[in-house]
Chain A
Amino acid sequence: MSADLLQVLASAGKGKGTRSLLRVIILALIAGAAVSSRLFSVIRFESIIHEFDPWFNFRATKYLVANGFYKFWDWFDDRTWHPLGRVTGGTLYPGLMVTSGVIYHALRALTIPVDIRNICVLLAPGFSGLTAIAAYLLTNEMTPSSSAGLLAALFVGIAPGYISRSVAGSYDNEAIAIFLLVFTFYLWIKALKQGSMLWGALCALFYGYMVASWGGYAFITCLLPLHAFVLICMGRYSTRLYVAYTTWYALGTLASMQIPFVGFLPVKTSEHMPALGIFGFLQLLAFLDYVRSAIPSRQFQTFLWLFAGATFGLGLLGLVIATSAGFIAPWSGRFYSLWDTGYAKIHIPIIASVSEHQPTAWPAFFFDLNMLIWLFPVGVYLCFQELADEHVFIVVYALFGSYFAGVMVRLMLTLTPVVCVAAAIAVSTLLDAYLNAKSPNPEEVQALESSEGKRAVKSGLRSTSKPVVGVYGLWGKGMVVGAMVVYLLVFVLHCTWVTSNAYSSPSVVLASRLPDGSQHIIDDYREAYQWLRQNTREDAKIMSWWDYGYQIGGMADRPTLVDNNTWNNTHIATVGKAMSSREEVSYPIMRQHEVDYVLVVFGGLLGYSGDDINKFLWMVRIAEGIWPDEVSERAFFTPRGEYRVDAEATETMKNSLMYKMSYYNYNNLFPPGQAVDRMRGARLPEVGPTLNTLEEAFTSENWIIRIYKVKDLDNLGRDHASAAAFDRGHKKKKATKKRGPRLLRVE
C-alpha cells in the first residue's frame, strides 16, 4: 500500500523537465537555508563586523571603495605598525575586498545604494550559498545519482565546520575562499574527466581568484599535483591528465604571480615545488609516451630506466643545490608547524599563541561535523569501490585534509567540503538502496544469480561478479530509512544549535541575560573605541597587545603599534616587553615609540576570560624570545609554579606594567581588603598597584577596556617615580649618603 503511495509520489518527479525544475528549486532552497542559518548574529545583535581580522578587511574595503583600485594597490598604511608602517596593498590578498568592491559598485549601478558595511557583513553567507551549489556540482561528478549532490549541498550549507568561518559579519578571506576551493576542485575534475583545455583554463582562472583571496591556496597547489602523482603511480596516466594539468599549471601559476603578495613565490618556495615537479614529470611522461610509440619495446625498457633514473637524480640534485644556494626558500615556520605540532611552541611562540593554530581536539571533529564524521569513511570506501580518476581525488583529498585538520583547528575548514561530499555519497547510496520500493522477486534473482555465478567462477574475481543484492522486507527498509531520517534531523538540530551558541557571537559585543530574562548587551569595546575616536588626537598612537590592533584601526581609527598582521615579530616582542617589564623599563620604550595611550583588556570585574592577564604569558614568551636576558617567563610563576595575581604573585608579576594597568584603582571599587578578581577567583592585595608613568584616561562601564595616557616628561626634570611620590605627599627620602671610609687626618 505504501509502495503504491511512493509510486504515485515518484511519478510526480518522473519527467525530466519536472525533475530538473525540482532540482533547481531544492538547490535554491538549500542555498537559502545556508544563507539564513548564518544570520543569527544579525538578528540577535545587529549588522556588525565580527572579531579581529574582519575589521582590517572591512577597513581595507572601505579604503578601496573610497579611493579606487589603483590607490588600493599602492596603499601604504602609516596608521599601523607605528613607526614602521605597512605596505598594505602589497601584503594582503585583495580578492575579498575587490569582490565586495565589485558588488558594491554593481549594486550602485543598478541604483541600489547598499551600505558597504552591509555588503561586507552579508558576503560570507552569500558565498556559502554559492558553496552549496559548487558542492552539488562537485558531487555530481562523483556519482550519477543527483540526490547525492543535493545532500552534499545541504551538508556543506549547514555543517558547523564551515559555518564557523562564514557567519554574517565574519568578513574574512575564508568567506569566499571555500567557495573558490570547492569550485576549483569541481573545474579540475571536469577538466580531468574531459581532458578539456577550456575547463582547465577555467580551473586556472578560479585558482587565480583563489590565490588572490586566501593564503590557503597552497592547499590546492599541493593537492592537485598530489592527485596527478597518485594517478600516475596507479598507471592512469592519460592525455586527459596531461592536458588538464598542464593547462591548469601554466595558466594558474601565471595568474597567481599577478598578486603582489605572491609574486615569485610559485617558483621560489618549497610549498610550490610539488606542482612544478609534477608539471616537469608530466612532460617527461608525455615524451616517453611518444618515444614508446616510436621505438621497439625492448630498447624502450632500458631507455626508460636510464632516463627515469637520470632525471630523478638530476632533479633532486638541482633542488638540493637551489635550496642550499637560497634560490628556493625553505619551508616557512607555519609549514613546519604543520609537520610537527610542537615546533611552533618552541621556535615561534607568536604562531602558537593564536588559538586557531592549536592542534585539534578530538571532540572538535564531532562538534563541527556531527554525524558526517562517521559517514565520511563510508563515503571514502564507496569511492574506493568505483575508483575512477575523480574518486581517487576524493580519496587523496580525504587523507590530506584529515591530516591537516588534525594538526590545526583552523584547517577543519578545508576538510569540511570533502567530508560533506563523501558523507553525501554514503547517505545517498544508502537511501537509494533502501528507498527503492520495488523488492526484487526472490525466484528471479535466484535464477539470475545462478547463471551469473557460473560465469563468475570462470573469471575468478569476486568483484567482477555482481550479485543482485536486494532488500526484501518493507519493514527493514522502513527501519533503515527511518533511522537515517532521524539522524538527518538530529544533524540539522545539532548544526543549528552549534551555530546559534558557538559561532554567532560577534565578540565585539557580549550578550548577557538580566535577571528577568531580557537580553543585556555589554558593549564595552565599542564604548572605549568610540571614546578614543572622538576624544583623542587624530594621530594619537595607541599601544595594545596585537589582538586589538585591527579593531582599534577599524573602530577607533587611531594608529597602532602592532596588529593582527603579525609580520614583524620583533616589534610585537617590543610591545610584549613593554607590557611585561617594570615601569622604568617600559617608559623609555613607550616614549621611543611615541605612544600616547595604552589600552588593556581586563576581565576581572565581569569574569571575562579573554582578557590580557590571561594572554599575558604569551607576551612574556614572545618578549623572551627576543630578549632572553631581560624577560624571563619563570619569573612570573611562583616558586611552586603557579601563575597567580593575588598577594602571592611574584614581584616581577606585580611590578609588570600589565599587572599594574589591569588592577590600578581596582580595589577602590570594593570595601577595603575585599577586592576580588572574578575571572581568576583571586582576592587581591589590599593595597593596589601604583602607576607613576601612566595615568588612567578612560575605563569602560564594565572595566573590560582600560585606557591609560602616557605621561609627558616631568616639567621639573624629576623622574616620574619621585614626581608621583611628591604629588602623593610623600617626603622625598633622604638619600643616605654613603660615606667613604674614615680617613685619618694626617697633617
Chain B
Amino acid sequence: MKTTAVFSAFVSLLSFASAAGASSKKSSASSDSSSTSTTLPATFKPPQVFKNANLVHVISLEKNYVKENINVLVENIDKAPQDEYFVPFTADQMSRLGGVEVKDRKDASAGPFVAEPVEFDQESDIQYLRIRLPKPLAPGAQQTLGISYYLLKAYKPLPASIKQEEQQYLTFSFSAYCSSAYTTTKQKTEVKFPSGNIPDYTKLPGSGDVSEFPQKQGSKLIYGPFDEKPAGAAQPVSVRFEFTKPVTHVSRLERDIEVSHWGGNVAFEERYTLYHRGANLSSLFNRVKWQQAQYYHPTTFALKELKFPLRVGSVDAYYTDVIGNVSTSHFRTNKREALLEIKPRYPVFGGWKFPFTIGWNSDAKNFLRKTATGGFVLNVPFLEGPRQPEGVEYEQVQLRVILPEGAENVRYHTSIPPSSITEAGIEIHKTFLDTLGRTALVIRARNLVDDFRDRDLVVAYDYPLLASLRKPLVVFASAVAVFVVAWIVGNVELKFDSPKK
C-alpha cells in the first residue's frame, strides 16, 4: 500500500515532466526523451575515445523475445573527459529494439542513464544508441556499464511449418563478437536457451586452451573468450533450438484506463491483437489429434491459455472479441489475488491470429489519492498483460488514461524506459453525457515486453469542484429545457378557431 508520503514524493518527481493544460488539444505532455534526440550529420562516426577493456555479452533466448545484457568495462583513452558512449545496431535491429536500460554495475545508486537512439542517416544500416554518462569519465578512468535491452520478433521457426504434434524449433542469428563502436580487448558471449536441446549451432575455431567454440554447458552456449577485436568486428553465428511454447506476439495493445470520480471507479480495458509467430501447420488443424494430444502429451506449441494476474480488488472482468463474449474464461478473485484466466476460442497455432478484448473495474481508492494541494494523483501499472512462462512481447502499445471531464494541468511520470516511449500527449475523448469531452492522456510506446509489467505510471492532475458539478448541472438544465419546450408546445392551439355557440 502506497502511503500519501510516497505520493507526494512522486508529485515532486513530476515537476520535471512537462505539463499541459486540458484546454490545449494537441499540446505535448511528452517526456524528455523524444524532445532531446538530436540529428547528427550523415557521415557521423563515433569518436574513438573509449576502449572496452572487458565485455560479457549475455543473450537470453529463454522467452519468446530476446533479452540481451552487455556488461562492459569501458576506459577513456582520450585526453579529455568524455560522457557519450555509442552502441551500434543495425537498422533492422533498431526497429525491433526496446526497453533499453543502462546502469552502472558498480554503483546502483547512479540510477538509469539516459540512452536514446541517435537520429542521423535513415538510410544507413548502422544506427547508434547514445548513452550519456551522468558524470564525464576522466581520461584513463574506467566504468562498468550494464546495458540491457530486448529484441522483438527475433526468431524464425525452422522448419517453417510442422505437424500439429511435432516439436517447434526456432533459429536466432547474431554475432559472436559483440558489436561495438570501440576496440574490445577481451570479450565473451553467453547464450542461454530454454532447454538443452540445441540441435544446430555455428561452430567457430577456438583460441587458447579451448579447441572449439562454443562450449556447451547444460542449456547454455558460451562463445569466447575472444582476444582483441577492432571496432565493428562481427562474426555471424546462428543457433537452432527447441522451443516448446507458443511464440506469442502482440502487434498492438490498446489499454484504456478510465477514471470516474462520481462512480469512484477506475475502469480498465485492453484490446490485444495477438499473433503466433511460431511454426505454421504443415497440414491443417486436426481436431482428433488435438483432443488426443490434450490427453497424452499436453505440451504443444499452440497457445491455449493466457493468465492475467490483476491487481487485488479488480472486479467485473470481461473477455470478448469482435463477435461477442468468449465464454472460455475464468476469473478467480479473493482477498489475495484476482486472476483472470482466458482461453482463446481456438488453440492458436503458428501464423494464426486471435484479437480479443478484456476489461475489468476497480475501486478508485486503490489507485487514486487526493493531494494536500487539492490535486489528484493516479498511480496505475503501465502494463498489465498476461504473465506467461514463455513471455509476451508488445510491438505497439497505446495507453490512454481518460480523466474526468474538466481535469486540467495533467502531468505524468513513468518508470518505463523513456526511449521506449514514442509519443505522449493530451487528447479529448467524448463519451457519455460529455459536453466538452474528457481529458485523455495518451502515451504511445513500442517494443515492450512483459518484464515491464507493473511498472508504474503516475498521473497528477487538478480537478476543480465546478468541473465535477458540470455534468449534473447540464443534465438538469437540459431536462428543464425539455419540459419548458413541451409546455410551450402543448399550449399552442393547433385547431382552427371554432365559432362559439
Using CB atoms and an 8 Å cutoff, list the residues of chain A in contact with chain B: 45-48, 111-113, 509, 521, 523, 526-527, 529-531, 533-535, 555, 665, 668-669, 695-701, 703, 709
Contact = CB atoms under 8 A, between A and B. Distances in A.
B122 interface: no
Contacts of B328: 523
Contacts of B352: 534-535
Contacts of A523: 326-328, 345
B433 A697 contact: no
A534 B275 CA distance: 10
Contacts of A701: 287
13 contacts: A111-B431, A526-B323, A526-B324, A526-B326, A526-B345, A527-B345, A530-B323, A530-B354, A531-B345, A533-B323, A668-B288, A695-B283, A698-B346
B432 interface: yes
Interface string B301-332: 00000000000000000000111111110000
Contacts of B351: 535
A112 B353 contact: no
Interface string B344-364: 011000011111000000000
A698 B323 contact: no
B433 A665 contact: no
B466 interface: no
B287 A699 contact: yes
Nearest to B287: A699
A703 B284 contact: no
B434 interface: yes
Contacts of A700: 287, 346
B346 A669 contact: no
Contacts of A697: 284-285
A45 B434 CA distance: 31
Given A535-B352, A669-B291, A530 B321 contact: yes
A530 B345 CA distance: 8
Contacts of A509: 327
Interface string B12-27: 0000000000000000
B124 interface: no
Interface string B146-189: 00000000000000000000000000000000000000000000
Contact of B346 (A45, A47, A531): A531
B431 to A, nearest CB: 6
A642 B291 CA distance: 34
B284 to A, nearest CB: 4
Given A534-B353, A535-B352, A699-B286, 20 more contacts: A46-B325, A47-B324, A111-B430, A111-B431, A111-B434, A112-B432, A509-B327, A521-B327, A523-B326, A526-B323, A531-B345, A534-B355, A535-B351, A535-B353, A668-B288, A696-B284, A696-B285, A698-B285, A698-B287, A699-B285
B185 to A, nearest CB: 52
Interface in B430-460: 430-435
B324 A46 contact: yes
A534 B287 contact: no
B324 A48 contact: yes
Residue from B283, B323, B326, B430 having most chain A Cβ neighbours under 10 A: B323
A113 B284 contact: no
A555 B432 contact: no
A530 B434 CA distance: 35
Interface string B197-219: 00000000000000000000000
Nearest to B289: A668
Contacts of A527: 345-346
A112 B475 CA distance: 12
Nearest to A528: B346
Contacts of A698: 284-285, 287, 346
Contacts of A45: 325
Nearest to A708: B284
B433 A112 contact: yes
Contacts of B287: 665, 696, 698-701, 703
Contacts of B321: 530
Interface in B344-395: 345-346, 351-355
Contacts of B435: 111
Residue from B327, B353, B433 having most chain A Cβ neighbours under 10 A: B327
Given A111-B430, A111-B434, A111-B435, A709 B284 contact: yes
Given A534-B354, A535-B352, A535-B353, A669 B288 contact: yes
B400 to A, nearest CB: 16
Nearest to A525: B323
B347 to A, nearest CB: 10
Contacts of B433: 111-112
A18 B433 CA distance: 35
Nearest to B478: A110
Nearest to A709: B284
A600 to B, nearest CB: 14
Contacts of A665: 286-288
Contact of A695 (B284, B288, B325, B327): B284
Nearest to B353: A534
Contacts of A534: 352-355
A534 B346 CA distance: 11
Contacts of A696: 284-287
A699 B346 CA distance: 10
B480 to A, nearest CB: 15
A114 to B, nearest CB: 9
Nearest to B320: A46
Contacts of B325: 45-46, 48
A509 B324 CA distance: 11
Contacts of A526: 323-324, 326, 345
A696 B285 CA distance: 7
Contacts of A699: 285-287
Nearest to A48: B324
Contacts of B288: 665, 668-669
A699 B289 CA distance: 11
Contacts of A111: 430-435
A48 B326 CA distance: 12
Contacts of A530: 321-323, 345-346, 354
Contacts of A46: 324-325
Residue from B286, B287, B321, B435 having most chain A Cβ neighbours under 10 A: B287
Contacts of B434: 111
B355 to A, nearest CB: 7
A695 B285 CA distance: 10
A113 B432 contact: yes
Given A111-B430, A111-B434, A113-B432, A529 B323 contact: yes
Nearest to B275: A534
Contacts of B353: 534-535
Contacts of A695: 283-284
A702 B407 CA distance: 51
B295 to A, nearest CB: 12
A510 to B, nearest CB: 11
Nearest to A702: B287
A115 to B, nearest CB: 11
Contacts of A529: 323
B327 A555 contact: no
A531 B354 CA distance: 8
Nearest to A706: B287
Residue from B346, B352, B353 having most chain A Cβ neighbours under 10 A: B346
A698 B285 CA distance: 5
A535 B346 CA distance: 11
Nearest to B284: A697
Contacts of A113: 430-432
A129 to B, nearest CB: 20
Contacts of B323: 526, 529-530, 533, 555
Contacts of B283: 695
Nearest to A113: B431
Contacts of B324: 46-48, 526
A409 B359 CA distance: 43
Contacts of B355: 534
A63 to B, nearest CB: 16
A699 B284 CA distance: 10
